[in-house]
């Protein structure tokens, strides 16, 4: 993610720019940040996980979304595009932005070298301000490791790490084999 170097832009102008932009941007406090593209590995892992969630949520009142769904953190104003979002019940949107969900149950980021510190730090600090959020998941790109941060009843968060077994997502009652996230049909046969 890189700063656009632009002056403070009202959210309404950001929405107009975003509607015609070739790349996605985050918005915070009037500053627009270009979201960089990532590796084929990143895209494959995100797609594998979104497909597994989509299938597992069939028949439930939850829906998985790819990075095209904008999430808005009402309390801090951040507008961003997580790699995967899950919304349960009914979708609530921002009063200023009918295309931005404000009530995700689960948010997932596939880590990359350029965004890992931000995803673990500042971005997670914003996400923790979303009252509906129950789990935040960080998926390693270079090694099979999944970290699930769960909100506790006292509003603290607990880390649960998964490496060689099932990833349990309690907020949506779904378990996915870690190996399935990293499956690569294009890899050379071993």
Take residue 102 and report the two structure tokens written for it.
Answer: 């404000």
**CATH number at 38-181:** 3.90.1570.10
Q: Which of 4, 18, 22, 128 is nearest to 75 (CA)?
A: 128
* Helices assigned H by DSSP within 21-153: 40-56, 116-120, 122-127
26/32 Cα distance (integer angstroms): 6
Name the β-bridge partners of 175.
Answer: 168
Q: Which of 73, 143, 139, 90 is nearest to 111 (CA)?
A: 139
CA-to-CA separations, 132 to 1, 79, 83, 105, in angstroms, rounded: 26, 16, 18, 6
- Evaluate if residue 185 carries a pLDDT over 90: no
Q: Which of 167, 76, 89, 91 is nearest to 124 (CA)?
A: 76
Angle at 103 between CA 73 and CA 34, to 5 degrees: 40
Residues in CB range of 99: below 8 A, 6 or more apart: 15, 70, 93
- Residue-wise pLDDT tens digits, 125-161: 999 999 999 999 999 998 999 999 999 999 999 999 9
Q: Has this prediction a pTM greater than 0.95?
A: no
- Residue-wise pLDDT tens digits, 19-71: 999 889 999 999 998 887 678 999 999 999 999 999 999 999 999 999 999 99
Q: Do 35 and 1 form a contact (C-beta atoms < 8 A)? A: yes
Domain boundaries, the chain: 38-181
């Amino acid at each position: 993610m890189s700063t656009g170097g632009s002056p403070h832009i009202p959210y309404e102008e950001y929405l107009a720019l975003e509607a015609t932009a070739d790349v996605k941007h985050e918005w915070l406090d009037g500053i627009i940040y270009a979201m960089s593209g990532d590796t084929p590995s990143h895209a494959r892992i995100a797609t594998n996980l979104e497909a597994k969630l989509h299938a597992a949520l069939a028949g439930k009142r939850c829906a998985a979304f790819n990075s095209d769904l904008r999430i808005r953190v009402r309390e801090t104003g951040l507008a961003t595009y997580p790699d995967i979002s899950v919304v349960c019940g009914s979708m609530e949107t921002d009063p200023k932005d009918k295309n931005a969900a404000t009530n995700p149950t689960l948010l997932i980021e596939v880590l990359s070298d350029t965004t890992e510190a931000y995803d673990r730090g500042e971005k997670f600090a914003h996400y923790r301000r979303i009252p509906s959020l129950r789990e935040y998941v960080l998926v390693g790109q270079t090694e099979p490791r999944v970290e699930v941060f769960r909100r506790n009843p006292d509003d603290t968060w607990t880390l649960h790490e998964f490496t060689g077994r099932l990833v349990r997502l309690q907020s949506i009652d779904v378990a996915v084999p870690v190996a399935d996230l990293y499956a690569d049909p294009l890899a050379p046969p071993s």
